[in-house]
Amino acid sequence: MGLSLVVGPAHAGKVALLLERYLDVLERDPWLVVPNRADVERVERDLLRRRSALLAGRIGTFADLFEHIVARHPERRGVASEAQRVLAARRAIASTSLDALSASSSSSGFTEMLLAALGELDSALLDPEAVGGELGSLARAYRAELDRLGLWDRDGLRRRAAERIQGDLQAWNREPVFAYGFEDLTGAEWALIEALAARAQVTVSIPYEPGRPAFAALERTVSDLAALAVGAVEELPPVEDRPVPRTLAHLERELFGDGRVSEDSLEGSLQFLEGAGARGTVELLAAELLEIVRAGTPPGGVGIVCESPDRWRATFDSVLGSLDIPYAFEQSSRLGESPLGDALLALLRYAWRGGGRDELFAFLRSPFSGLERRSVDFVEGRLRGRAIADPVRVEEESEKLRGAHIPALVQLRAETDPVTAARVLLRTMIRNAWGLNAPPVGDDARGDARAYRAADRTFDELADFARLDMRSLASEDVIAALERTSVRPVAAAESGRVAVLDYGRARTRIFDVVFLLGLEEGSLPRRDRPTPLLDDDVRRELGGRLERPNTVARDRYLFYTACTRATRRLILVREAASDEGVPREPSPFWDDVRGLYAPAEVSRATRRRPLSSLTWTLD
């Protein structure tokens, strides 16, 4: 029993070593903890390449491990879904007398901000009494609301699992545990690792190389784990003969180090793209991507890593959507970002929040309204021409011009229960768009199907909440829950698509070609954004592993990791000027990479597209 720590730089063989040790004790039914849900299937395939059958053992995330431990908890409760957490938080806010937070509590983002803060407190194993103030009052009200409903939330479940593993000898049967792919531990995760190490053999792998600035953000975690390991620390050396171009191997060893300059040619392995404006930058990236795919690289072998997929989503949809290259954002999106969800929420906001002409016609113009587009355009044009914007008059005049009521509004108002009304509307919308005669096919249909399932699942959760609450829900509750509903992304690796993902998700992925986007000053490294309810002073005072690593150090590590994800070619991309033509300074990480190679080679490997370049040469 005890903890063993395996450290080393990227591609030192840490994960491979962990997998071999996992297979060596397979008869003892070990656990393998991986970073993300998407990694579970990838690791399973990797293990099956090493052994033809896996008849024991379990592979999951930390969330799965917590769930396993708490499954036999004597007071086990159901776990509140995201929609149910939103409603419980809204109830807590409404029932709490607030002073300093009174004004902000009515804003649309306050509930989300509160849930994030409460989740961190639970993950740090801190009680509301330790927090005090209005945040403590809100935490107590939120917990009381969950208790009244007989539910835990996800973070509360982790808290109970950590408490059980610390105090119940029956909570674990000495199965070995192997874990990799995390760089920081919450209080609950640390308590879990510490308790498991007292009862079983725990092996943890973490990327780290002493003294290298690239790993500075991980020093606290490694130091704590090393102290728990009591000398059982295995440091793997860097692999000198990796099958990657010499320029990329040089980058992995020297980035954020002493800056030894390589004179090797960058041809075909490292490139720099500078565009003007967000769209111009993505168009420059798209042209390079098209050449790479035409040269034989499969789309599934390409990764586009950016600091904020949400920032680039609309531009990618506009630019890459016109190319015959499949791509997918490997990040859940909000329901309102899908065409179906946008149309649904637009009509609900119009009908239930007193929205205006824009909300109504956002729905009517969509294929989900069931109305002919030219008829809708005619009505909207007449209303705009007559400057009619009042919601009541908009509806009245629209019905006069059409000579009929708006069917969706009639249907929505026919139901007294807002959950039932919105669910019926959703089903009508999907039927209007795709009909019932043949199964819909294509990416648009699959996207609508994912959005439909997400919204329908939220309606089920709302109905369950109303049953537990023994009160009917308000229409505003339904809108708030739908606004927080997440839509499952397409798994790019499984569908042969170019993967668009953030720096955090890229840590455990490998691609033939990697684009690193968003390398402007202020974009990466990101600026510190204190959490309003849990600022840095409060975090230091509360402890419980609430303190966050330095943002620059964290982004330095993520950038280093992203640079090591390419096996053939790495392409750095930055916006050299804004859409208005104002110059933008490069990220210091951009300069750090370029400084590792001969200036003449860097110049040859740089491709620019100025704002004045409005056209491309046709093939």
Tokens 């060596």 label which residue? 24
Strand ranges in 316-393 using DSSP code E only, listed in sequence order? 327-329, 333-334
In the predicted structure, residue 529 carries a pLDDT above the cut 80: no
**Residue 517, pLDDT score:** 95
Worst-scoring range by mean pLDDT, 73-82, 304-313, 378-387, 541-550?
541-550
In the structure, how many helices (H) and strands (E) does the chain have? 27, 17
In the predicted structure, residue 616 carries a pLDDT above the cut 70: no
> Of all helices (H) and strands (E), which one includes residue 559?
helix 551-563
Report the alpha-carbon distance of residue 557 to residue 504 in Å, rounded: 10
Which letter does DSSP use for residue 107 in this model? S
Q: Are 484 and 478 in contact (CB under 8 A)?
A: no
Give per-residue pLDDT as tens, 65-108.
999 999 888 888 999 999 999 999 999 999 999 998 998 888 87
> Of all helices (H) and strands (E), which one includes residue 603?
helix 599-604
374-381 long-range contacts (CB < 8 A, ≥24 apart) are 375/402
Cα separation values, 40 from 145, 175, 182, 220, Å: 34, 19, 14, 27
Strands 151-152, 78-79: parallel, antiparallel or unpaired by DSSP? parallel
Report the alpha-carbon distance of residue 234 to residue 226 in Å, rounded: 10
**Residue 611, pLDDT score:** 66
**Residue 420, pLDDT score:** 96
**Residue 441, pLDDT score:** 73
In the predicted structure, residue 355 carries a pLDDT above the cut 80: yes
Give per-residue pLDDT as tens, 132-176.
889 999 999 999 999 999 999 999 999 899 889 988 888 898 999
At residue 341's C-alpha, the angle toward residues 299 and 397, to 5°, is 135
- The mean pLDDT value of the chain amounts to 90
Q: Is 488 helix (H, G, I), strand (E, B) or coil?
A: coil
Report the alpha-carbon distance of residue 364 to residue 369 in Å, rounded: 5
**Residue 212, pLDDT score:** 92
Percent of the residues in the chain that have a pLDDT greater than 90, as a whole number: 66
Q: Report the pLDDT averaged over residues 22-36.
A: 94
In the predicted structure, residue 342 carries a pLDDT above the cut 80: yes
Q: Report the pLDDT averaged over residues 469-474.
A: 90
**Residue 612, pLDDT score:** 67
Question: Which residues are CB-neighbours of 207 under 8 A, at least 6 positions away?
Answer: 7, 8, 9, 10, 14, 183, 215, 218, 561
**Residue 288, pLDDT score:** 95
Give per-residue pLDDT as tens, 209-238.
998 999 999 999 999 999 999 889 999 999
In the predicted structure, residue 473 carries a pLDDT above the cut 60: yes
**Residue 444, pLDDT score:** 82
Q: Report the pLDDT averaged over residues 591-601.
A: 95
Question: Which residues are CB-neighbours of 128 under 8 A, at least 6 positions away?
Answer: 121, 136, 137, 139, 140, 143
Closest by alpha carbon to 82, among 441, 475, 480?
Answer: 480
Q: Report the pLDDT averaged over residues 542-568.
A: 90
Give per-residue pLDDT as tens, 416-438.
999 999 999 999 999 999 887 76
